[in-house]
Structure 1
Amino acid sequence: MNNKIIQHVKVHLPHQILPSATVWISNGMLKRIEPTQEIETIEGEDERIDGKGMWLIPGMIDVHIHGANGYDMMDGTEDSIQEVSRACAATGCTSFLATSVSSTMEDLLNMIRSVKAVIGREQGARIAGIHLEGPYLNPKRKGMQNEKYLRHPNLEEMKLIFQEAGSLIKMVTIAPELPGGLELISFLKEQGVVIAVAHSDATYEEAKLAFTAGASHVTHCFNGMRPIHHRDPGLIVAAFEEPHVSLQAIVDQVHLHPAIVRLMHRLKGPEGMVLITDALQAMGLGDGNYMFGGHHVTVSGGIARLADGTLASSTVTMNEALRLTEANGISMEDAVCMASTTPAHILGLSHKGKIEVGYDADLVLMDEHYQVQWTMIEGNLVPMKDT
């Protein structure tokens, strides 16, 4: 059945909350959204879904995720990509960028081939493309990135990557101050890629050059980059000053202090800030020992660290990031915008990220505790699996 009616839901519209509404879906698209005075009998044979007064939000979009449920997208297998797809859907995410870490060229190409084999037949969230996080990153700000794989930007190597991945490459994170960085930005801009900056020791001046050249995004802002100093503002302040530059935020109460989350929101607004998980394979499994990016990683109390104490991605989910963002003092309307609408806009997903007539019926039903009850992608309910 292609047509559905969702009743008894509190709906997050782009600039309005309907405390009680009915939503009509036809052929995977949002056909009609109306406030409900009283739920009377609705004529027709459409499938009816009772939302039981819970929240209906647009499907969230994670532009930065590495793994989940014990699977890493760098494993080079289709099963790993599918497991991340399922885990994303179970936590309210309907689209995601399969994200790499710095590696050998062979491992990166295997990851790309796995994504290509799965795209179009995902069992959960849809793959919106690939995010290359590295390998053109600065060892001085490497974070958990494996230094033995880091190298200077190499235009010929990047062209080989594009030969394999083509238009699937949607975002590339680089350190623009490295030799060849600006040349690589020019190439990526020609390809229509979102150029992000992180794992970078760029000065304020170097970052300004990168943003002028075409960089427009900051990966996991404040983490893996030169910190702000009053005589050396660095790339973060440069990004704050550029209206076209958006920021990623890992809101897990570990990577960013709540006051920093509020500062980012105050300066950039919900249209200039995106919630991400940056999750590794421990997402959904919890504490234990893992391998990630060629490193041994220990997760304790939900916090992933290398042996030397360096933070190594996160275990937060998108629905938990949404909850924590509101707990940090940001309205739910803005938090939903940062989790859904803004990433859709950044990636050019013109029919996703909003509950609006004519948009894809990518929807999430959540209770008051932000627990996902079900996820719908293009009008189809995704079979749920515990994560």
Structure 2
Amino acid sequence: MNNKIIQHVNVLLPHQILPSATVWIANGKVERIETQELKKFEDGYEPIDGKGMWLIPGMIDVHIHGANGYDMMDGTEASIQEVSRACAATGCTSFLATSVSSTMEDLLNMIHSVKFMIGREQGARIAGIHLEGPYLNPRRKGMQNEKYLRHPNLEEMKLIFQEAGSLIKMVTIAPELPGGLELISFLKEQDVVIAIAHSDATYEEAKLAFAAGASHVTHCFNGMRPIHHRDPGLIVAAFEEPHVSLQAIVDQVHLHPAIIRLMHRLKGPEGMVLITDALQAMGLGDGNYIFGGHHVTVSEGIARLADGTLASSTVTMNEALRLTVVNGISMTDAVHMASTTPARILGLPHKGKIEVGYDADLILLDERYQVQWTMIEGELLRTETCNI
């Protein structure tokens, strides 16, 4: 039965929490939202008791590399499917399959796997592809493998678009590299989100990139020139531009809580996006992994290269949401950053909010931010599908 009535839930609306509400779902969409309790259920609707828990819009992860032991750069359909399931289990209903810098062959294999899996997802839906590299600066490479880094190549990017087409939704580059601004002009014509990271851009170089069409900063503060009072760099340039949004890895490792609050204070929930940037250790935990051609060790949930460099994260979206609130940001703003803002940035007009006419992509969370169930376009996913 596709039509449902969800009762006794605290509904996270864009700017408020609606307590003890009832939500009607019909044909995969939100049909009604009311505060009065039903005494009698309508025919054709399946009742669901939310037991006083939170009902939030499905979260959207614009930056995830892997989960449950699977890396999407494996180039297999099984890897994409496992990430889809893991996302759904942790409160995410849409995601961008995210690459790392690699050979063209490996990147094209990943793109082919994503294309094949669209429409076959058993969990979260694929909203597109995020290319993180390979046009990144070796000086700020982070965990990106330097042997695959190169200057922007317009002909190579055109070949990638021939294979992926409109699936490319976001591209992260270092704009200060030779050919960077030319590449930004091309990407702007393709209507993709142009993001900056793994960049040594100065304040002036970043300003030029934002004026040319860049509008997003990937894992802000990480993999870029730091702020200095005589050399403000990319981060301050982004703070000054109203149209530029910022990704945040909220895992108590990548960003100090005060920095998270600073980002929120300057950009607000409309200019900040929660991400996982997770590698395949998400859902498995401590151990040794191969990621981006590197040996990565995860200890106490923190992934590092042999030299101590942070190598993505193991945080999940529901945990990132919890930690955002723990760090002093309201639940409504945290949900906005996890759902509403990424939906707007990606141009997903019927996702990211619990609102009449929107897709019924919904998550039921308990007081510990544990996912009780995931609904995608009105369909509850099977319990075993959401097990992580």
Moved more, 42-51 or 236-245: 42-51
The Cα of 1:43 is off from its aligned counterpart by 2.6
The Cα of 1:13 is off from its aligned counterpart by 1.1
Cα distance in structure 2, aligned partners of 1:121 and 1:288: 30
Corresponding position of 2:376: 377
Cα distance in structure 1, aligned partners of 2:371 and 2:201: 40
The Cα of 1:39 is off from its aligned counterpart by 3.6
The Cα of 1:45 is off from its aligned counterpart by 2.9
The Cα of 1:14 is off from its aligned counterpart by 1.3
Cα distance in structure 2, aligned partners of 1:106 and 1:316: 29
Cα distance in structure 2, aligned partners of 1:316 and 1:343: 18
| Native 8 Å contact 2:22 2:37 kept in 1 | no
The Cα of 1:315 is off from its aligned counterpart by 0.1
Could you list the per-position Cα deviations for residues 234-276 of structure 1 after superposition, in whole angstroms to 9, with x for gaps in the alignment? Answer: 0000000000000000000000000000000000000000000
The Cα of 1:16 is off from its aligned counterpart by 1.9
Cα distance in structure 1, aligned partners of 2:133 and 2:340: 26
Flag structure 2 segments of 5+ consecutive residues without an equivalent: 382-386
Cα distance in structure 2, aligned partners of 1:4 and 1:41: 14
Could you list the per-position Cα deviations for residues 67-116 of structure 1 after superposition, in whole angstroms to 9, with x for gaps in the alignment? Answer: 00000000000000000000000000000000000000000000000000
Cα distance in structure 2, aligned partners of 1:202 and 1:30: 44
Cα distance in structure 2, aligned partners of 1:43 and 1:171: 43
Moved more, 5-14 or 210-219: 5-14
The Cα of 1:337 is off from its aligned counterpart by 0.1
Cα distance in structure 2, aligned partners of 1:210 and 1:182: 6
Could you list the per-position Cα deviations for residues 325-344 of structure 1 after superposition, in whole angstroms to 9, with x for gaps in the alignment? Answer: 00000000000000000000
Q: Secondary structure at the match of 1:182?
A: helix
The Cα of 1:44 is off from its aligned counterpart by 1.2
Q: Does 1:212 align with 2:211?
A: yes
Could you list the per-position Cα deviations for residues 95-151 of structure 1 after superposition, in whole angstroms to 9, with x for gaps in the alignment? Answer: 000000000000000000000000111000000000000000000000000000000
Cα distance in structure 2, aligned partners of 1:359 and 1:229: 44
Could you list the per-position Cα deviations for residues 269-302 of structure 1 after superposition, in whole angstroms to 9, with x for gaps in the alignment? Answer: 0000000000000000000000000000000000
Q: Percent identity?
A: 90
| Native 8 Å contact 2:21 2:37 kept in 1 | no
Cα distance in structure 1, aligned partners of 2:348 and 2:51: 30
Corresponding position of 1:124: 123
Cα distance in structure 1, aligned partners of 2:248 and 2:66: 18
Corresponding position of 1:33: 33
The Cα of 1:41 is off from its aligned counterpart by 1.6
Q: Secondary structure at the match of 2:358?
A: coil
The Cα of 1:2 is off from its aligned counterpart by 2.0
The Cα of 1:28 is off from its aligned counterpart by 0.3
| Native 8 Å contact 2:7 2:37 kept in 1 | no
The Cα of 1:178 is off from its aligned counterpart by 0.1
The Cα of 1:38 is off from its aligned counterpart by 3.4
Flag structure 1 segments of 5+ consecutive residues without an equivalent: none
Q: Secondary structure at the match of 1:369?
A: coil
| Native 8 Å contact 2:30 2:358 kept in 1 | yes
The Cα of 1:359 is off from its aligned counterpart by 0.2
Number of equivalenced pairs: 383
Cα distance in structure 2, aligned partners of 1:295 and 1:45: 54
Cα distance in structure 2, aligned partners of 1:170 and 1:38: 41
| Native 8 Å contact 2:363 2:373 kept in 1 | yes
Could you list the per-position Cα deviations for residues 28-68 of structure 1 after superposition, in whole angstroms to 9, with x for gaps in the alignment? Answer: 0000010x343412231311111111000000000000000
Corresponding position of 2:364: 365
Cα distance in structure 1, aligned partners of 2:36 and 2:169: 43
Matches within 5 A, 1:189-228: 189-228=188-227
Cα distance in structure 2, aligned partners of 1:43 and 1:295: 57
| Native 8 Å contact 2:41 2:47 kept in 1 | no
Cα distance in structure 2, aligned partners of 1:64 and 1:270: 18
Cα distance in structure 1, aligned partners of 2:44 and 2:143: 54
Cα distance in structure 2, aligned partners of 1:87 and 1:164: 26
Cα distance in structure 2, aligned partners of 1:94 and 1:191: 25
Q: Does 1:64 align with 2:63?
A: yes
| Native 8 Å contact 2:374 2:380 kept in 1 | yes
Q: Give the alignment's Cα RMSD to 1 decimal.
A: 0.6
TM-score (norm 2): 0.98
| Native 8 Å contact 2:72 2:98 kept in 1 | yes
Corresponding position of 1:260: 259
Corresponding position of 1:98: 97
Q: Secondary structure at the match of 1:186?
A: helix
Cα distance in structure 2, aligned partners of 1:37 and 1:79: 45
